[in-house]
Every structure is written in structure tokens, then in C-alpha cells.
Amino acid sequence: MESKKAKESYTEMNELVLPNDTNTFGNLMGGRLLYWMDICAAMAAQKHSNSPVVTVSVDNVSFKRSIKLGEVVTIEAQVTRAFSTSMEVRMEIFAQNLPEGTKEKSNEAYYTFVAINKDNKPRVVPALVPESDIEKELFEKAQQRRELRLILGGKLSPENAIELKNIVNATMKG
């Protein structure tokens, strides 16, 4: 299986915030944003794997700023690392006020997807080749984020989290 470049998975999605997308304060409902993020990230994962994918993990999503009625939400997603059957996708979310010409970052998040075959079983995905400095940094740190997800999900004991142990040891030495 041939490897793929990170930029090949880049996906951008835009949504206009309409009245039924908002709460009583005129802000975009968080659940609606998470829904849009899941769609955009899944498209990036499908571009990388060339197969259907299922969401297996949503990392902590913190909102730096509320998104208002009438603003345009731009979600940029890209695969940061591929493991055996899973892929980590990073997203950056922006709120744009088109009449004012402003664009501000609202939040960022990481989702994890597993590629599935026609029998709905996990399938191997292509390796990811990072090219830019930021792609390389995200790629390297993805293993640490993965270990943390697995620990929090009860699938890895902290004693076996090698990358996280390396961080702790380096911090204690420094």
C-alpha cells in the first residue's frame, strides 16, 4: 500500500449560521458545531484511507469564542498521522463575519477515525508522509495524543505509555 502526503487529505467546509443553528443567545449551538466538525473530519479521513470511516474518538473541544448568528463557520481538517487502521484528524475552526471582513479562530480539535471494509471490519490505511514543519510536528506529537486517548479510554495502562513516560522523564530532568 502506497503512503500518502498529509496535504492530500486537506478538507475545508463552510457553513452559514442560521437561526435554527443557534441557542436563545444567538450563538451557534455547540452540538451543531460538533456535528459539522465530524462531517469535515470524516471527509479528510476518507480522502486518506479511500474507504468509509467511523468516528472512534473526539478529543477535548474548548470554545475560545462564541460563533454568532449570520457568521460563516470555516472548518479546516487534515490527517496528522495514520496508524494501522486508525487516523488522527486535526481541525481548526474559524468564524467569519463577511460584512465586517473579519475571521477569528474559534477552536481546534482532534478526532480519530477507523477505516472499515465492506464487512464493517477495520482495514489497514496508508502511512502518512508529513512534509511541512508543522505537519512533521503534528505527526510526531500524534503518538503522545494517541497514548493519552487510549489511557483515558481504558485501552492502555499508564505504565505502557512509552511516549508519555518520555515526556515526563524529560520534564523531570530539565
| pLDDT tens digit sequence for 40-94 | 999 999 999 999 999 999 988 888 999 999 999 999 999 999 999 999 999 999 9
Domain boundaries, the chain: 4-130
Topology annotation, domain 4-130? Thiol Ester Dehydrase; Chain A (3.10.129)
Say how many residues make up the chain: 174
Rounded distance between C-alpha atoms, residue 101 and residue 93, angstroms: 16
Residue 53, CB-side half-sphere exposure with 13 Å CA sphere: 30
What is the mean pLDDT of the segment spanning 114-135?
97
User: What was the pLDDT predicted at 166?
Assistant: 67
